[in-house]
Amino acid sequence: MVKRKPKVIRDKKVRGEWAESIFLARASEHGLTVSKPWGDSARFDCVVGTPGKFAAVQVKSTVAELPGGTGYNCSVCHSHQLYEPGAFDFLAAYVVHEDVWYIIPEIAMRGKKTLSLYTEGGRYEQYREAWRLLREATQVGEGAEAEQLEEVTEAARPGLSPPPAGALGRLQASMNFFRNQLERGGIALPKTDEET
């Protein structure tokens, strides 16, 4: 199957809003609770977590290839200025053409205006698809909260270790999640042609 390259949204603000919507969906697929603050004056775009343990996330995206096609350059500043230390907890950087997320702790990119991503042996490769960092940072602790988080994660991805790849796989995972939630509530849905 040929990997579809998404059409590039030229307007940077519109592309940023689109990337935030992709982040909301992807984080939900990983069993994370995500909220979007009202307005856009905060130095972060989303909040991940539950009461008692939240993490602020700044979302960025990139389509800017490095020379020689060795990776992508991602701008991580605002109005050409560095973010203040502690302005957010994590950077979620989306490499659009590769459909890959980098979940980077703010302290690991502090003082940088740009990052080189999707590069072989690159500094930030350890953060590629590191959704576990958000889960660990927002986990309230042992007991009921941890069990509930694990239950949500498994419901979102029944029987799968890695999250599904591609838009069709993510759509199927989302449908399965909602089907499981409805069935837990006692609502039986008719079987699809593939399930019969």
Residue type present at position 160:
L
For the cut 80, the answer to whether the pLDDT of residue 21 exceeds it is: yes
Strand-by-strand arrangement of the 34-35 sheet: 34-35, 46-50, 53-62, 90-95, 100-105
Least confident of 8-22, 121-135, 157-171: 157-171
Least confident of 11-15, 30-34, 171-175: 171-175
For the cut 70, the answer to whether the pLDDT of residue 40 exceeds it is: yes
Give pLDDT tens digits for 115-150: 999 888 889 999 999 999 999 998 855 444 445 545
Q: Distance (Å, rounded) from C-alpha 49 to C-alpha 101?
A: 18
Domains of the chain with bracketed CATH: 12-139 (3.40.1350.10)
Q: Distance (Å, rounded) from C-alpha 71 to C-alpha 147?
A: 38
Q: Distance (Å, rounded) from C-alpha 105 to C-alpha 88?
A: 9
Is this prediction's pTM over 0.75? no
